[in-house]
Structure 1
Amino acid sequence: MGSNNPENRRPMSGALTYPASSQQSPAQRVAEQPRQPRSLQGLLRFAMEATQAEDAPGNSEVGPLDEERRQFLEDALKSLQVNVAEVLENAIKVLTNSAKMNSIQLGEALPDDVKNAFTVLLDYVEDLDVANDFYKMGGFAVFAICYGSENEEVRSRASSLLGTLCQNNPFCQTRALECGLLNVLLNLVESERGVTLAKCLFAISCAVREFEPSCRELIAQGGCYTLLQLLSVPEPAARTKAAFLVRYFAQHYSEAKEQFVKENIVRTITALIEKGRDESTEHLLSILQVMSDDLDPKVLSQCRDPSLKLETVLKNYLKRPELKDDRYCEEKEYCNELLNRIFNQQQRVDHVEELADR
């Protein structure tokens, strides 16, 4: 068995160590030194303990932090610091290298430096200040190159980056609108598929939500019709994101709602619900709930169209075995609310008219 004497213990591989004062015996050094730090938090704790020992008045047992230890601590802290501006600049250089980016062919795996550039940027630009700095450093130039790539992963990662930059960030939302990126995205969603389509819709959502100028631009550019068409794409993830945006616009912008009514969104949603349930169905039901919330006569008329059989579709949906699970309680609530709002009210009106005719 190994000795319990601290002087005989071997240092842990990878652990931070620091030089001991030459003026103290080994026993004194072991007794007085704080626990050796193994992380940034531990390193900071070590600094606090060392400073506290240095500043403690009347403590004759612990001497001041000598220059040798102080220098070691400063060097250790510097080694853990990251020059964020330099990291951003290097990543931007990689992604704006048009020759390199254009050489990535359709279906080809991304080179490691390109993949790492996207990964590093996504890690840092979640911070709003870093996101704003990214733009000021010319970072938005990456999008013209990346969205022009034939490689779907490049475009997908570009959308993830743009969405992260714009999410809850009016500064970057403004810059994205000024740079014409919203129009680029609205054009791309008409041809993208799969994960790339879902990421594109994510970027649109982050670029417009809670930012009225971009919402108005989307409506003006025919984006409502585009979103309505996307409710019928085969990928549930993309349908879910499209449905989320449709609900948002129907709830907050009357002109968008009018466009949805004009395109008879009720017919589209009824047909989708009748096909079966998936992750997008809850959002489709929520669209009907928002559209009929103010009892708009046009919407109610579409819902009560006998050819749609919406009442039957909703009642059959409530019979689905998976809806017995409490996880789907919102879907059940939407169905029951719609049945009561649209059809029970109609039955009451019909009953009153019947009595009046007698």
Structure 2
Amino acid sequence: YFLEQNMAEGNNDQGNRERLPKNLQGLLNFCTEITAREDTTQPSPAVELSQERREFLEKVLAGFQGDVAKCMANLLKKLTDPSVFDINSDVSEQEEALEQLGEYVEDINYAIDLFKMNGFPTIVNVLDSPHYSLQKGAAQVIGDICQNNEMGQQNMLPLNVMQKLLNIIDNHSDPECMVKALYALSCLTRESEMAEKMFSDLSGFCYLMRAIQTKQPKLVVKSVFLLNYFIGKTDKYKDTLLSMGFVDQLVSILFSEDIDDTSREYCTLSLYNLSTSYDKALQECQRPEFNLVFQLNERLKTISGNDQYQEEENYIKSLLEVLHFNDEKEDDDIR
């Protein structure tokens, strides 16, 4: 009853109408929100479902389930409009289309439907739009499709999407576009052996290195997040990471004065993961010119006892333990 009542009220109010659910997950959230407003201290009145109300609810649910494919087809049509590639055109409709598609493909079943209607190439093509807003929207949708979705990854990869995303990360003038592309790249790559190999073959680690060097906080965090995935996933890339100077870069970022706290936290974790899984990386971390133990202890003095930095503090202590243990081991070997 409350669903019918509140949706009916929403239809009479422009602001509420914009908040009406667009998919089944949105419907669940809508019901939860409305239920939270009810007086749960009193028993809910039992109301028999009339034929009118039953038809109303059946219509709502059928609309969500039956019309989604038709709606996605219409949204894709908007994304093939010539305005997508005309820098002087108004693309507000296309921006909204990407936003709506993003909501739909959060449901893996709708992501599969989008593939079946050959929608993936359309989304990937939008990455070539001169409109930054559309590039960001397309990257977001690609990431949403591929996240925890092997089917999405496998069918995106043949579309040259990885190289397009790498180019955006490397060459774009808008940091937000770079961040969205890195999000999509991460979702496309993780937990897919095919994508991991392609990433390596396309010199993906070089792109990550340059993204880290920008010192843009969101880029650093997302780059190091993906780096940590590769460090924890397999040993086969660790020689490559060391030869490229990733330890040097992480240490440099770690103690840069103009870097943010979250980036420091992620870089500390990367150094710890490398050090504990690869002896050569541990040896790199102990190079005298880094003075890493001293630097870490100084940082520890600054953040110790502050709940805001609890994760970073834990990572620093763990890394110091590894470094001290190896020092003691080397002393014993000398004796």
TM-score range for the pair, normalised by the shorter chain length: 0.7 to 0.9
Task: State how far apart, in whole Å, the 2-side matches of 1:169 and 1:117 are.
Answer: 22
Q: What is the CA deviation profile of residues 275-331 of structure 1, one whole-angstrom value per residue up to 9, with x for unaligned ones?
A: 1442211111111011011351x21221111122222221121122x4431232221
| Pair 1:76–1:260, CA change in 2 (3 A) | closer
The amino acid of 1:135's aligned partner reads F
Residues 228 and 246, structure 1, Cα contact 8 Å, conserved in 2: no
**Which of 170, 174, 183 is the matching residue for 1:202?**
183
**1:310 equivalenced with 2:289 (yes/no):** no
Alignment partner, residue 84 of structure 2:
101
Corresponding residue SS for 2:77: helix
Residues 91 and 117, structure 1, Cα contact 8 Å, conserved in 2: yes
Q: What is the CA deviation profile of residues 167-213 of structure 1, one whole-angstrom value per residue up to 9, with x for unaligned ones?
A: 11100100011222122212221113411111111001111111111
Alignment of structure 1 residues 144-159 onto 2, 5 Å: 144-159=124-139
Task: State how far apart, in whole Å, the 2-side matches of 1:236 and 1:263 are.
Answer: 21
Alignment partner, residue 49 of structure 1:
48
Residues 101 and 145, structure 1, Cα contact 8 Å, conserved in 2: no
| Pair 1:156–1:46, CA change in 2 (3 A) | farther
**Which of 198, 215, 221 is the matching residue for 1:234?**
215
Task: State how far apart, in whole Å, the 2-side matches of 1:235 and 1:215 are.
Answer: 24
**1:187 equivalenced with 2:160 (yes/no):** no
The range that moved more, 233-242 or 80-89, is 80-89
Residues 131 and 172, structure 1, Cα contact 8 Å, conserved in 2: yes
Which structure has the bigger radius of gyration? 1
Unaligned stretches of 5+ residues in structure 1: 1-10, 17-38, 51-68
Length-normalised TM-score, structure 1 = 0.75
The amino acid of 1:207's aligned partner reads L
Task: State how far apart, in whole Å, the 1-side matches of 2:46 and 2:146 are.
Answer: 38
Q: What is the CA deviation profile of residues 232-284 of structure 1, one whole-angstrom value per residue up to 9, with x for unaligned ones?
A: 21320111000000011111122222211111211111111111442211111
Corresponding residue SS for 2:287: coil
Alignment partner, residue 256 of structure 2:
275
Alignment partner, residue 70 of structure 2:
86
Alignment partner, residue 142 of structure 1:
122
Length-normalised TM-score, structure 2 = 0.80
Alignment partner, residue 290 of structure 1:
273
Corresponding residue SS for 2:191: coil
Q: What is the CA deviation profile of residues 139-180 of structure 1, one whole-angstrom value per residue up to 9, with x for unaligned ones?
A: 112234311112211111110000001111100100011222
Residues 84 and 91, structure 2, Cα contact 8 Å, conserved in 1: no
The amino acid of 1:95's aligned partner reads L
**1:113 equivalenced with 2:93 (yes/no):** yes
Task: State how far apart, in whole Å, the 2-side matches of 1:235 and 1:287 are.
Answer: 17
Residues 270 and 313, structure 1, Cα contact 8 Å, conserved in 2: no
| Pair 1:243–1:12, CA change in 2 (3 A) | closer
Alignment partner, residue 122 of structure 1:
102
Residues 224 and 256, structure 1, Cα contact 8 Å, conserved in 2: no
Question: Which consecutive aligned stretches of 4+ in structure 1 deviate over 6 angstroms post-superposition?
Answer: 39-42, 45-48
The amino acid of 2:300's aligned partner reads L
Seq. identity, %:
26
Residues 228 and 260, structure 1, Cα contact 8 Å, conserved in 2: no
Q: What is the CA deviation profile of residues 121-156 of structure 1, one whole-angstrom value per residue up to 9, with x for unaligned ones?
A: 111110001001111112112234311112211111
The amino acid of 2:103's aligned partner reads D
Residues 264 and 302, structure 1, Cα contact 8 Å, conserved in 2: no
**1:299 equivalenced with 2:281 (yes/no):** yes
Task: State how far apart, in whole Å, the 2-side matches of 1:352 and 1:85 are.
Answer: 68
Corresponding residue SS for 2:237: helix
The amino acid of 1:285's aligned partner reads T
The amino acid of 1:49's aligned partner reads E
Question: What is the CA RMSD across the aligned residues, in angstroms?
Answer: 2.9
Unaligned stretches of 5+ residues in structure 2: 11-29, 35-43
Alignment of structure 1 residues 158-177 onto 2, 5 Å: 158-177=138-157
The amino acid of 2:177's aligned partner reads T
Alignment partner, residue 131 of structure 1:
111
Residues 168 and 177, structure 2, Cα contact 8 Å, conserved in 1: no
Residues 225 and 259, structure 1, Cα contact 8 Å, conserved in 2: no
Equivalences, count = 296
The amino acid of 1:278's aligned partner reads D
The amino acid of 1:324's aligned partner reads G
Residues 105 and 111, structure 2, Cα contact 8 Å, conserved in 1: yes
Comparing both structures, which one devotes a greater share of its residues to helix?
2
